[in-house]
Amino acid sequence: MRALQLVSDRNLKIVDMPEPEAPGAGEVMVEIGAVALNHIDVWGWRGMAFARRKLPLVVGAEAAGTVVEVGPGVEDLKPGQKVAIYGAQTCGECRACREGRDNLCENVGGIHGFHLDGFARERMVTKARLCVPVPDDVTMMDAACAPITFGTVQHMLFDNAKLEDGETVLVQAGGSGIGTAAIRMAKAVGATVITTVGSDEKAEKARALGAEHVINYNTERFEGVVRKLTKKRGVDVVFEHTGVDTWQGSLFSLKRGGRLVTCGSTTGITAEINLMQLFQQQYRIFGSFGCAIHNLSESLAKMDEGVLPVIDTAITLDRIEEGLARLESRKVFGKIVMTMG
Ligand SMILES: [Zn+2]
């Protein structure tokens, strides 16, 4: 079967791989339908962020597919069932796993596409409990955006920051995969959205997604605009994932008692914090990484209700370099999804 392998830095190859063995107890074989690209794939491509990476590595950290075979003891999944696949091999037994806090698993066996072979292959065997059924009306391409894109945003905005109807949220980099998801998911619960983008073209598109206020961060200081828009009060929640470039401004945009949730640092990892501001303003800051398995079901249910991922480009396996280059170029608005067919 075919797979997309990173053989050395910036060198991806479509290779022939042996078929997986039949699923064992509690396992299923999934035919991968679509893989959504993420910055994690770009890091891999560039050869960054891997202290002990083993190459070659099958890429792809976020995917959906169809169950084609079930192992002994699997009762809730049948061949033909469309599923979104949780990206980390959690133990399923530690306290965090038992309590549904899967991304805090104490014995995690690695993340697909990062430490373990990823999803960009025709078929794979995984644990049935990591496969979440996809509603009939949700497409394979949309479902492929559940495990990281929607799942991460669901976990950030609702488990961590507890965003509610009537509140205001600042979404940083609203044109990115998770930024577009955050705008749509925040709008869907009745929040007011302020977002930042890097061009007028993206501003137009962010407005079309429902953002009430869009700030071009290349032409305006976003924190000043946010203070003005909120009559100097600040926003209830900041959705951060850009890092050092926006960190100070993001904190300055929060109201007293506001919540900042972050899952990324694409512009750099070391930022300063004014501790007096932190405690006097009673900020709550959440670090968020990945999501729990229940966030996949919640995300898919939202998609079923019409809250859909924004897909910038659909590509086929042989056009992966083009997809990664587009992701890296920052021209992208929303997700790039690769079909395996
Ligand atoms: Zn565990």
In a domain, 79, yes or no: yes
Q: Please state the rounded mean pLDDT for residues 165-181.
A: 97
Regarding whether 41 and 124 lie in a shared domain, the answer is yes
Regarding whether 185 and 262 lie in a shared domain, the answer is yes
Centroid of ligand 1 to alpha carbon of 127 (angstroms): 13
What pLDDT, on a 0 to 100 scale, did the predictor assign at position 9?
77
Regarding whether 252 and 130 lie in a shared domain, the answer is no
Regarding whether 274 and 205 lie in a shared domain, the answer is yes
pLDDT higher than threshold 60 for residue 246: yes
Retrieve residue 170's tokens: 């600042």
* C-alpha distances out from residue 276 to 242, 255, 273, 281, 283, Å: 23, 15, 9, 8, 11
Centroid of ligand 1 to alpha carbon of 309 (angstroms): 29
Centroid of ligand 1 to alpha carbon of 86 (angstroms): 13
Q: Please state the rounded mean pLDDT for residues 297-306.
A: 98
Domain count within the chain = 2
Regarding whether 192 and 121 lie in a shared domain, the answer is no
In a domain, 88, yes or no: yes
Regarding whether 159 and 238 lie in a shared domain, the answer is yes
Centroid of ligand 1 to alpha carbon of 231 (angstroms): 45
Read off the pTM.
0.96
In a domain, 295, yes or no: no
Dihedral of CA atoms 288, 294, 300, 304 in degrees, nearest 10, equals -120
More confident residue, 49 or 99: 99
Q: Please state the rounded mean pLDDT for residues 146-162.
A: 98
pLDDT higher than threshold 90 for residue 183: yes
Give residue 83's domain range: 2-145+309-339
In a domain, 333, yes or no: yes
Q: What is the percentage of the chain residues whose pLDDT exceeds 70?
A: 97
Centroid of ligand 1 to alpha carbon of 25 (angstroms): 18
Centroid of ligand 1 to alpha carbon of 138 (angstroms): 29
Regarding whether 209 and 87 lie in a shared domain, the answer is no
Place 40 in a pLDDT band, splitting at 50, 70 and 90. Answer: confident
Regarding whether 103 and 157 lie in a shared domain, the answer is no
In a domain, 293, yes or no: no
Regarding whether 137 and 7 lie in a shared domain, the answer is yes
Regarding whether 265 and 313 lie in a shared domain, the answer is no
Centroid of ligand 1 to alpha carbon of 91 (angstroms): 4
Centroid of ligand 1 to alpha carbon of 104 (angstroms): 7
In a domain, 136, yes or no: yes
**Four-residue CA torsion sign, 128, 134, 136, 140:** negative
Regarding whether 158 and 274 lie in a shared domain, the answer is yes
Q: What is the pLDDT of residues 77-117, one digit of tens each?
A: 999 999 999 999 999 999 999 999 999 999 999 999 988 99
- CATH number of the domain that 245 lies in? 3.90.180.10
Q: What is the pLDDT of residues 252-279, one digit of tens each?
A: 999 999 999 999 988 888 999 999 999 9
What pLDDT, on a 0 to 100 scale, did the predictor assign at position 219?
96
Regarding whether 158 and 138 lie in a shared domain, the answer is no
In a domain, 301, yes or no: no
In Å, the largest CA–CA distance within the chain is 61
Centroid of ligand 1 to alpha carbon of 135 (angstroms): 27
What pLDDT, on a 0 to 100 scale, did the predictor assign at position 268?
87
Centroid of ligand 1 to alpha carbon of 93 (angstroms): 5
